[in-house]
Structure 1
Amino acid sequence: MEIPAASQETFLQIHPADNVLVALKDLAPGTLITFNGDTFPLVDRVLAKHKFTISELAEGDAIYMYGVLVGKANSTIVKGGGITVNNIHHAADGFHLGERHLEWERPDVSNYADKTFLGYHRADGSVGTANYWIVVPLVFCENRNVDTLKEALNDKLGYKKPKKYEYDIDNLIGLYQTGHSVEEILQTDIEAAADTPASARLFKNIDGIKFLNHDMGCGGTRLDSDTLCGLIAGYITHPNVAGATILSLGCQHAQAGIMQDEIAKRDPNFSKPLIILEQQKLGTEKKLLQEAIKQTFAGLIEANRTERTPAPLSKLCIGLECGGSDGFSGISANPALGYLSDMLVTMGGSVILAEFPELCGVEQQLSDRCIDVPTANRFMQLMTDYNALAEQGGSGFYANPSPGNIKDGLITDAIKSAGAAKKGGTSPVTAVLDYPEKVTKPGLNLLCTPGSDVESTTAEVAAGANIVLFTTGLGTPTGNPVTPVIKLSTNTALSIRMPDIIDINCGTIIEGTETIKQNAERILNYVIDVASGYSTPKSVQLGQDDFIPWKRGVSL
Structure 2
Amino acid sequence: MSRTIASDTFAHSSLRVHAADNVRVALKDLPKGHEVEDGGRQIRLVEAIRHKHKFALADLAEGESVIMYGVTVGRATQPIAAGAAITTENVEHSTDSHQPQGRRDHWNAPDVSSFQGVTFDGYHRPDGRVGTTNVWLVVPLVFCENRNIEVLRQCVAEALGEDPYRDYKRMARELLHGQAAFEQESTPPEQLFPNVDGVRFLTHTLGCGGTDNDAEALCQLLAGYICHPNVAGATVLSLGCQKSQIGMLKAAVAERDPHGLRPVHYFEQQATGSEETLIREALTTIFDGLAEANRVTRTPAPLSELTIGVECGGSDGFSGLSANPLVGAVIDRLVTLGGSGILSEFPELCGVEHELLARCRDEQVAERFRHLMDAYQRHAASVGAHFSMNPSPGNIRDGLITDAMKSAGAAKKGGDSPVVDVLDYTEPSVRKGLNLLCTPGNDVESTTALVGSGANLVMFTTGLGTPTGNPVAPVLKIASNSELATRMPDVIDFDAGPIIRGEARIDKLADELLRLCIDTASGRYQPRAVRLAQYDFIPWKRGVSL
TM range (shorter): over 0.9
| CA–CA separation in structure 1 for the residues paired with 2:335 and 2:43 | 44
Give the one of 443, 452, 456 matched to 2:442: 452
Distance 2:177 2:160 in 1: 34
- Tell me which residue corresponds to 2:472: 482
Q: How many Å separate the matches in 1 of 2:144 and 2:93?
A: 42
Which of 307, 312, 337 is the matching residue for 1:317? 307
Give the Cα separation in 2 of the matches to 1:204 and 1:326: 40
Q: CA deviation at 1:148?
A: 1.3
1 CA distance for matches of 2:185 and 2:221? 35
Does 2:372 match 1:369?
A: no
Query: Could you say which residue in structure 2 is the equivalent of 1:243?
Result: 233
Is the CA contact (8 Å cut-off) linking 1:160 and 1:198 kept in structure 2? no
For residue 125 of structure 2, the aligned residue among 103, 116, 122 is: 122
1:227 partner amino acid: A
CA contact (8 A) 2:214 2:543 kept: no
Q: Tell me, in whole angstroms, the C-alpha distance in 2 between the residues paired with 1:278 and 1:487.
A: 38
Deviations, residues 241-261 of structure 1 (Å, cap 9, x unaligned): 000000011111111111121
- What SS does structure 1 have at the residue aligned with 2:320? helix
Structure 1 SS opposite 2:476 = strand
Partner of 2:163: 160
Identity across the alignment (%): 54
CA distance 1:303–1:506, shift in 2 (3 Å): same
Provide closer, same or farther for how the CA distance between residues 162 and 75 of structure 1 changes in structure 2, counting only shifts above 3 A: closer
**Amino acid in the other structure paired with 1:442:** K
User: What is the root-mean-square deviation in Å for CA atoms of aligned residues?
Assistant: 2.0
- The answer to whether the 8 A contact 1:164-1:195 is kept is no
Whole-angstrom distance in 1 between the partners of 2:209 and 2:159: 36
Query: How far, CA to CA, are the matches of 2:184 and 2:454 in structure 1?
Result: 37
- Within 2, Cα distance between the matches of 1:321 and 1:148? 32
Q: Distance in 2 between matches of 1:507 and 1:197?
A: 40
The alignment covers a number of residue pairs equal to 536
Equivalences for residues 254-403 of structure 1 within 5 A: 254-403=244-393
2:234 is equivalent to residue 231 of structure 1: no
Range moving further from structure 2, 264-273 or 396-405:
264-273
Distance (whole Å) between structure 2 residues aligned to residue 166 and residue 264 of structure 1: 41
AA matched with 2:87:
T
Offset of 1:411 from its aligned partner?
0.6
Most deviating of 87-96 and 352-361:
87-96
Match of 1:88 in 2: 91
1:530 matched to 2:533? The reply is no
| Segment of structure 1 superposing worse, 154-163 or 76-85 | 154-163
- Which sits farther off after the overlay, 89-98 or 54-63? 89-98
Deviation at 1:8, TM superposition (A): 6.4
How much does 1:156 deviate?
1.1
Say if 2:152 is the partner of 1:149. yes
Shift, 1:270, TM fit: 3.2
Task: Spell out, residue by residue over 1:141-175, the C-alpha distance to the aligned partner (whole angstroms, 9 max, x if none).
Answer: 11111111112222212432242334544454358
Tell me, in whole angstroms, the C-alpha distance in 1 between the residues paired with 2:15 and 2:400. 15
Alpha-carbon separation, structure 2, partners of 1:91 and 1:453? 23
Deviation at 1:200, TM superposition (A): 2.8
| Native 8 Å contact 1:158 1:202 kept in 2 | no
Pairs within 5 Å for 1:66-81: 66-81=69-84
Shift of 1:296: 2.3
Match 1:17 to one of 20, 24, 43: 20
Aligned amino acid, residue 423 of structure 1? K
After TM superposition, the score normalised by the length of structure 1 is 0.93
SS of equivalent residue, structure 1 residue 96: coil
TM-score under structure 2 length normalisation: 0.95
Question: Could you tell me which amino acid in structure 1 is paired with residue 107 of structure 2?
Answer: W
Q: Which moved more, 1:392-401 or 1:195-204?
A: 195-204
Matched residues in 1 for 2:37 and 2:242: separation?
Answer: 66
Task: Report if aligned partners of 1:389, 1:553 keep a CA contact under 8 Å in 2.
Answer: no
Instruction: Tell me the residue number matched to 1:182.
Output: none
Contact 2:10–2:502 (CA under 8 A) maintained in structure 1: no
User: Structure 1 stretches of 5 or more lacking a match?
Assistant: 1-5, 178-191
Gaps of 5+ in 2: 1-8
CA deviations over 1:178-223 (Å, ceiling 9, x no partner): xxxxxxxxxxxxxx99998643321111110010011100001111
Q: Counterpart of 1:471 in 2: which secondary structure? A: strand
Pick from 484, 505, 512 the counterpart of residue 495 of structure 2: 505
Matches of 1:209 and 1:235, distance apart in 2: 13
Q: 1:209 aligns with which of 199, 207, 211?
A: 199
Looking at structure 1, the residues matched to 293 and 129 of structure 2 have their Cα atoms a distance apart, in angstroms, of: 16
2:333 alignment partner, SS class: helix
